[in-house]
A and B are shown apart, each in its own frame.
Chain A
């Protein structure tokens, strides 16, 4: 199975090939998530999942700027991060279905995909639950001098958790190579962030002396450009950074959150999809620049579609773990 993130590169100068790779990754995430929704709707998936559709440019733009051995931590809405960092869709689907072939042997599920081979320290179902882990990974990287950085993905809901500010203080005191990437998709579950967030988001970082940037999270080029600079800065030993990516969650908080009009309008959703879709934005730019013809993008789309279909079929056919495994791996 081809992985989504094949050859992440950190260079700020990017050619057509890299933009097409990012386009392919975003399409992969979109189609992966559409399949997840389908699996849920067909009652083939145990539990729930939190879809990343609409936010693809954030994970792809940031992870494209990372090295394969760099670390990430992810969230309950983490499929996009995991795929963009190099996870294989077949083992991802297998995990979502609770199968032995999954990344966590079926013990983690949708919210806990973790994979040492791609530097994925784990998705986390506690909001802001991984901020300590991410900062600790950066602490190790600095102490061991291995040149790695860690990206800590979290949603704007995590801005309400005090642990975030504790570790940002530590990271800046000790100049740790960690990038706090805040995906502001406007909603803390079912509540608009303006109802939960006092003051200035950027000011939360600058108060610690941490450089902060805010970008259009629907524009993968803007995300990639900002992430590349902040990641390289951290890698050079200049300390942490804070990157706000303004984005939008097309679906509900989770797959079962269907009736959303009590917290946001259908018109708002339609407007974001029509005017700010990350795939449309990139494909339009690629066409304008003459970097890809519509047929090229169509070919990528159909290739990815086949890969995703093969991956989901693999997962459906894969065996469950034996109940004997329930007590395995409690202790190392």
Chain B
């Protein structure tokens, strides 16, 4: 991660990755609802249709299953589609295409066909969008063999990981936290990619490990700063991809600090926090001084009213308090 230099927002980093890959490879195209002139409701794609034309930045009807399935077939036959699913909640409409088709085509055909397709979509609550526009459902795809799942947490990671996703020969689901689109961070001018399955140590520490994904990385970093002031040194690890998963880095950090909190904005129950906690418990059991603590979204449909919604996800304060307790410093 570069320390200084040019800064871009998360959204600009995504757009730049797409533009560079579309210049590099004429087979890359974008397919989705309001991706062209509208540039999506989040304006992440603004300007791309002007450069690449409507042949490559393709507005679709509101038919998530239809155009996702079309993306699978297009990927099998020579194109590299980047399918845009506006809100992560809408992946429910694409599940057969992703789970039964995209994920299985390569395996079921004995390696004969492949599906080099990216699905970009969003996650994250606290936008006051209620239960059908606020979920973080990346655990669902992480559960399915044949898919890769990417969860960038900084503009730098977003750009490098998206370029890797577009060059990958497999179906990749790329989740962007919609609350992070305006987050700024350093992004170098020169071309780079970030490999999948390599966790990033966002902050080094000695007393406790905060494993965090996507939106929760920023929360973990905020909590770590608070913890430092109170005399607790927290390490923040971002797996960056839930599959492939860098188990080694997670386990080694857990062994070093002996205490771990896993943070993820998906539902806690049967979710990413459960899997990461299990990986850590299996790999570092004899080095742990406390049970691995999970902090996912509450097991409720995301409510609309701000005081209700705000308690459904972890905050810097709640992570700070949980970490203090885990370190015996209530």
Contact = CB atoms under 8 A, between A and B. Distances in A.
Interface string A305-332: 0000000000000000000000011111
A332 B73 contact: no
B96 A133 contact: no
Interface string B188-217: 000000000000000000000000000000
A189 interface: no
A131 B69 CA distance: 7
Interface of B: 29, 55, 60-61, 63, 65-79, 81, 96-97, 100-101, 105-116, 145-146, 148, 169-170
Given A121-B76, A137-B77, A139-B79, 14 more contacts: A103-B112, A105-B111, A114-B105, A129-B96, A133-B76, A167-B70, A169-B61, A170-B61, A170-B70, A329-B106, A329-B107, A330-B146, A331-B170, A332-B106
Nearest to B81: A136
B109 A170 contact: no
A130 B76 CA distance: 12
> Can you list the 7 inter-chain pairs with the closest CB atoms, starting with the nearest?
A132-B69, A136-B73, A166-B66, A105-B110, A133-B73, A104-B110, A329-B111
A132 B73 contact: yes
Contact of A144 (B68, B78, B169): B78
Contact of B76 (A102, A104, A137): A137
A305 to B, nearest CB: 29
A136 B111 contact: no
B110 A329 contact: yes
Contacts of A106: 110
Contacts of B115: 332
14 contacts: A105-B111, A107-B110, A108-B109, A114-B105, A114-B109, A121-B73, A121-B113, A129-B101, A135-B73, A136-B77, A167-B63, A170-B60, A330-B106, A330-B107
Contacts of B101: 124, 126, 129-130, 132-133
A243 B107 CA distance: 31
Contacts of A169: 61, 63, 66
B72 A104 contact: no
A163 B105 contact: no
Most B CB contacts (10 A, CB to CB) among A121, A133, A162 go to A133
A5 interface: no
Given A126-B100, A170-B63, A332-B114, A133 B72 contact: yes
Find the residue from B79, B111, B114, B146 having the highest chain A CB count within 10 A: B111
Nearest to A135: B70
Chain A's interface size range is 35 or more
Q: Chain A CB within 10 Å — which of B77, B108, B145 has the most?
A: B77
B96 A126 contact: yes
B107 A166 contact: no
A141 B330 CA distance: 64
B65 A132 contact: yes
A129 B61 CA distance: 19
Given A143-B55, A170-B60, A163 B96 contact: yes
Contacts of A112: 108-109
B140 to A, nearest CB: 17
Given A104-B109, A132-B73, A332 B169 contact: yes
A133 B69 contact: yes
Interface string A139-164: 11101100000100000000000110
Nearest to B99: A126
A137 B69 CA distance: 10
Nearest to B146: A330
